Amino acid sequence: MRIRNASTIAFPIQVESTIFSPTERALLQSSHSFPPNSSTERMTIRLKFSKTEALSLDKFIKAQKNLSQTPPILWSKPQITDTDNQHVNHPILQELESCTRIKDFHQIHAQLVVSGLSQDSFVASRVLKKLCTSLSSVSLAVVFFDCLEEPDAFMCNTIMKSFLSLNDPSGALRFYHEKMLPKCVEHNHYTFPLLGKICAEVRSLREGKKTHARAVKFGFELDLFVRNSLIHMYSVSGEIWDARRLFDNGSVWDLVSWNSMIDGYVKNGEVGCARQLFDLLPNKDIFTWNSMISGYVDIGDMVTAKWLFDMMPFRDIVSWNCMIDGYAKIGNVTLARDSFDSMAMRNVVSWNIMLALYVRCKDYNECLRLFDRMIEGGEARPNKASLRTVNNTKTPLPLQEGYKLSGVFKIGSRNLRALQHRAIVCLLKSCAPITETNLKHICNQLPKRLARVSMQNLLDTPQHWV
């Protein structure tokens, strides 16, 4: 029986033909469904096809088989096996951990590229962390980041955090706009606190608002750390009421949230509002107390600042420095010096506040005596601000002040050279007029490293020669 149109048959058929394999028979039966007949349940028909029809059917069956298969992979992407996911044991990563020079890193990088591991997310994260911490090469980390096909948020956060540690928040913000956003890297809950800190460092309210908008867009606005970062950003940008709105809309607060608002109010001159939050906070830490004392110091209310200082359960150097600075601002030298002498340990800020106070009060001799005590005691190393303050004294500078610092500072320091210059000029003026007899006496009082400076000063002061 030859079937011209199978759709005209009103009952199911069972194909039994020697030219079909079992798979082909099943495929043919599934591609032709017939309505059942009430009088006859099943009828067996033997189909006979010509050679041309059989070839056409073979092509159709092969086409159906090919459509069900997955397309071939033209090239394979290097991947790490499950065994190598124990990354600590990988020899190349072990070499990376022990790497201490950029030259050695280039060799390790070449091995990672050849082995195909450089595109693995875990390995790339380890490489970036190594470059940003131990090797301190953020620029090389950015170059490595450019070669990654699928970077993640952890890699971007590592690089931006490294920029911040190098006091380059502008570089971190530039990396975010030029590298992270163009590659469409998905943000995580660590990215937005970092961005909030970056915007606060660069004092960019516009970028801070963009960060806030993205946090809302990606669903991170209610995250505690993100909200604390945004509160700090708005506070330092002068938008203290936007910060308070974020604070009030939160459902969970921690000590950082309270401290950010109190410190924000203090820095924006709203000491009364800061005090209200301060009184509501049950568990205060040292930062809370210091912020409140600093607020009263800024407005000159040393009575309240002293009362809070006495109420503190414990104090640190910052607490004492706040009180000394407060007394220095109102010109009370006695109380400032009493607080200074009462400190168990001082830092360079403590010394610089007192030095600057004596200069403002024109007590130059006491300033120099305190400066001598600072150098001889070794409690704090003088910095540029210390030398600048001493240089502002309007009194003859003893020679020993000029060369005593030679062992403390590098000879190339601009402030040190100015200090030594003043000491030598004072000595020359005290010995004027200079003759060949006392010239040798003057040079003998100078250390060898200052001999060149002294001779230059002699040439620059011909009026002293006779």
In the chain, helix, strand, coil percent, each to 5? 65, 0, 35
Q: Is the pLDDT of residue 112 over 50?
A: yes
Q: Which two tokens stand for residue 279?
A: 């009184």
pLDDT band at residue 452 using 50, 70 and 90 as cut-offs: low
Per mean pLDDT, which range of 11-15, 174-178, 361-365 is the poorest?
11-15
Whole-number Å distance between alpha carbons of 106 and 151: 20
Q: Tell me the backbone φ, ψ of residue 45, rounded to 5 degrees.
A: -125, 135
- C-alpha to C-alpha distances, 124 to 52, 87, 112, 132, nearest whole angstrom: 60, 12, 9, 12
Tell how strand 13-15 and strand 43-45 pair up: parallel
Whole-number Å distance between alpha carbons of 146 and 178: 11
pLDDT at 455: 52
Q: Is the pLDDT of residue 215 over 50?
A: yes
CB 433 within 8 A of CB 464: yes
Whole-number Å distance between alpha carbons of 362 and 100: 52
**Of 60 and 215, which is predicted with more confidence?**
215
Whole-number Å distance between alpha carbons of 140 and 208: 28
Q: Encode pLDDT of 309-348 as tens digits.
A: 999 999 999 999 999 999 999 999 999 999 999 999 999 9
pLDDT at 432: 53
Packing angle, helices 333-342 and 317-329, rounded to 10 = 170
Whole-number Å distance between alpha carbons of 257 and 277: 11
Query: Which of 63-67, 93-97, 118-122, 399-403 has the highest average model confidence (pLDDT)?
Result: 118-122
Q: Is the pLDDT of residue 426 over 80?
A: no
List Cβ neighbours of 323 (8 Å cut-off, separation of 6 or more). 293, 297, 305, 306, 309, 339
Q: Which two tokens stand for residue 232?
A: 């700090």
